Structure 1
Amino acid sequence: MTVSDQDRDILARTLWGEARGESLAGQIAVAWTIRNRVNDGKDKSWWGEGYAGVCQAKYQFSCWNKTDPNFAYLSGAKQIPFRELAQARLAGDQVIDGKVLDPIGGATHYYAIAMKTPPAWAAKAKQTLKLGGHVFFKDVP
């Protein structure tokens, strides 16, 4: 699969929007969630196609919702701090380029521990990892 500069940029911005307070390892874990969706054989109309398509698919990553406070940064209306975006780019590039193994055991979903109520889908899914502020899952019904 060919990965464009736009795919890399959208992935980095998504990592910033979803996991900017995480360590490099935490951002790599979130990036692997996205990669697992890109490579999943499920219906592309739900996941999206390619990295940009998956990141920006409706209902997938809330940071891309126009009402989300992160959206102004992700869309380029406001500037993301250089060091924060650089770390997100590093995490995304390492995952896209296959330089790090999947630490989340094939997970396609995660949620932030800070959520007051876990999403309903988490109750029937298999937890694969808890890292930083996120819990990762696979086999989500």
Structure 2
Amino acid sequence: MPQASLLTDPLQVSARTAWGEARGEGPTGMQAVLCAGMNRLARPAWWGSDICGVFLHPWQFSCWNSTDPNRAKLLAVTSADPQFQTALALAQRLVSGTLTDITSGADSYYDTRLPNAPAWAAPRFYRCTIGHHAFYRVGPFGEG
């Protein structure tokens, strides 16, 4: 598939985001990343209002950052990769509207292995931790 198509196909964008952000977290971790995007879609705001817009919004899902080493990998991965097959199956559920939210409404997350939590990760917004990712609901309506 040409790279331009990868960036406009909601299934490809969401699968590659899940794989790029959480392939080391297994199916549950990849589902949780997709849930954060799904919860953003449910509440359109500055982060976008469609699947590609939400996942590709600058500086939101770090695997898409031009300086992130995962970007080249996620653009090159194919369905021969078993983890990407799982990501595609989960992304298909997102695209079809059948993905189950396992994050209690979270729209944001960060890797708990980072030395410092982001400023937006206030305890009152915390929802759950899945693998190495802590999930939060921070906006646009915060705790709602």
**SS of the residue 2:12 aligns to:** helix
* CA distance in 1: counterparts of 2:56 and 2:94, whole angstroms: 18
Q: Note the aligned Cα RMSD (angstroms).
A: 1.9
Q: Which of these residues, 20, 23, 34, is aligned with residue 20 of structure 1?
A: 23
The residue aligned with 2:110 is: 111
Match of 2:4 in 1: none
Q: Give the Cα–Cα distance (whole angstroms) in 2 for the partners of residues 107 and 52 of structure 1.
A: 18
Number of residue pairs matched? 132
- Superposed displacement of residue 48, structure 1: 2.0
Please give the residue correspondences for 1:26-45 in structure 2 after superposition, counting only pairs within 5 Å.
26-42=29-45
1:45-96 Cα offsets, whole Å, 9 max, x none, are: x2123111111111111111111101112333xx356112111112222233
Structure 1: 5+ residue stretches without partners: none
Which 4+ runs in 1 deviate beyond 4 A? none
Q: Can you list the C-alpha shifts for 1:6-56, whole angstroms capped at 9, x where unaligned?
A: 1010100011110011121221111010011112132xxx21231111111
Partners of 2:129 and 2:65 in 1: how far apart?
25
Question: Which runs of 5 or more residues in structure 2 are unaligned?
Answer: 1-7
- Partners of 1:53 and 1:26 lie apart in 2 by 21
Q: Secondary structure at 1:120's aligned position in 2?
A: coil
Aligned with 2:53: secondary structure?
helix
What is the DSSP-based 3-state SS (H/G/I as helix, E as strand, rest coil) of the residue aligned with 2:9? helix
TM-score (norm 1): 0.83
Which SS does the other structure have where 1:122 is aligned? coil
CA distance in structure 2 between the aligned counterparts of 1:99 and 1:51, rounded to whole angstroms: 14
TM-score normalised according to structure 2 size = 0.82
